[in-house]
């Protein structure tokens, strides 16, 4: 998949950045009056955790605009400055290079780095070779798969870390933060149990995705993910890789090629057409495209999509 279809998302981030910066400044000003803790999250799953844990004792802004693909988000100078004035920054190091640079430059007073608690694992990008490795290095993945939030069992540790940081900033809300984190952890546990029960009965265990965002999910539920491209969605798959995926799809009886919401579906759709297969959306939950969605509703939709594609009873 070429980088050109994704440039509008990056451009959107650049255009929206000044507005977000002004919003963050205004939010900080209002926070001085109402006492809400000012929190900046780097992208949606972390924003969701911070909001659920903080409740009405926090005001949350995201560094990634709605509808923008987070891998390549760029920050304005004002947004970088807002990191320094935020009371808490929640981010994932190694995922968004611009955010990594901004955190290092701004040195926020309180930081939760999800990479410290989510137990990230190395990627298995053997098929993609040097081309995919070079793209991952460029985007800061450093051989680690950043998409931990697609395994719900890895999320409670992040919620607990956010609760601890918020309790340090706002001791009066400590009990509330920890209660909220526990309740959110229960929701992740329930989601995990639903996934496990549904995916245990599948006739097929292999699924093909546009890029390898679902490694943690596959590992958790004993599935095998086959990515057309590697961990970074911008990696262009070679003709040899497309042939390899096609052969594997035939061998494994794959019926569906999955594409994503924030990345061009062209390669997935072309491959599916060549193979006579259907396509469907499998959302990596990196950002929202619909205000009616949230992490859990998307996860539930993903589960139903997998259930149908893998013929789970």
Averaged pLDDT for residues 136-163: 83
Q: Is the pTM of the predicted complex or chain greater than 0.85?
A: no
pLDDT tier, 234 (very low <50, low <70, confident <90, very high otherwise): low
Per-residue pLDDT, 72? 82
Closest CA to 263 of 293, 289, 300: 289
Per-residue pLDDT, 167? 98
Tokens (6 digits) for 186: 């229960």
Q: How many CB atoms lie within 10 A of CB 2?
A: 12
Averaged pLDDT for residues 187-209: 97
CA–CA distance, 311 with 284 (Å, rounded to integer): 21
Closest CA to 50 of 91, 19, 99: 91
* All residues at 6 or more sequence positions from 288 whose CB lies less than 8 Å from its CB, including other chains: 44, 66, 67, 294
Per-residue pLDDT, 124? 57
Q: What 8-state DSSP symbol labels residue 312?
A: B
Averaged pLDDT for residues 141-170: 94
| 8 has pLDDT over 80 | no
Averaged pLDDT for residues 66-85: 90
CA 254, 260, 262: angle at the middle one, nearest 5? 170
pLDDT tier, 18 (very low <50, low <70, confident <90, very high otherwise): very low
Per-residue pLDDT, 34? 73
Phi and psi, residue 278, nearest 5°: -90, 170
Q: Which residue has the higher pLDDT, 1 or 119?
A: 119
The full set of domains in the chain, from first to last, is 4-118+146-191 (3.40.50.1980), 194-309 (3.40.50.1980)
Per-residue pLDDT, 198? 98
């Amino acid at each position: 998949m070429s980088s050109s279809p994704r440039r509008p998302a990056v451009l959107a981030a650049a255009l929206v950045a000044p507005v977000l910066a002004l919003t963050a400044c205004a939010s900080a000003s209002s926070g001085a009056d109402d006492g809400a803790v000012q929190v900046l999250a780097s992208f949606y799953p972390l924003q969701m955790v911070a909001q659920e844990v903080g409740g009405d004792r926090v005001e949350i802004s995201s560094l990634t605009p709605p509808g923008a693909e987070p891998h390549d988000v760029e920050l304005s100078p004002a947004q970088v400055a807002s990191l320094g004035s935020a009371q808490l920054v929640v981010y994932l190091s190694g995922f968004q290079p611009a955010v990594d640079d901004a955190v290092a430059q701004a040195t926020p007073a309180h930081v939760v780095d999800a990479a410290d608690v989510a137990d990230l694992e190395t990627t298995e990008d053997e098929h993609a070779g040097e081309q995919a490795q070079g793209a991952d290095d460029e985007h800061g993945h450093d051989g680690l798969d950043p998409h931990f939030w697609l395994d719900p069992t890895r999320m409670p540790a992040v919620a607990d870390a956010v609760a601890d940081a918020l309790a340090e900033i706002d001791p009066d809300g400590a009990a509330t933060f920890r209660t909220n984190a526990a309740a959110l952890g229960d929701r992740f546990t329930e989601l995990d149990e639903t996934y496990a029960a549904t995916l245990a009965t599948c006739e097929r265990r292999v699924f093909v995705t546009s890029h390898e965002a679902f490694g943690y999910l596959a590992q958790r539920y004993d599935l095998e993910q086959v990515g057309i491209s590697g961990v970074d969605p911008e990696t262009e798959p070679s003709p040899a890789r497309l042939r390899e995926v096609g052969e594997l799809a035939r061998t494994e009886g794959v019926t569906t090629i999955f594409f994503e919401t924030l990345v061009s579906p062209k390669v997935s759709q072309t491959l599916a057409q060549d193979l006579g297969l259907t396509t469907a959306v499998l959302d990596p939950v990196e950002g929202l495209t619909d205000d009616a969605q949230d992490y859990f509703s998307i996860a539930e939709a993903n589960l139903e999509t997998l259930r149908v594609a893998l013929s789970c009873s």
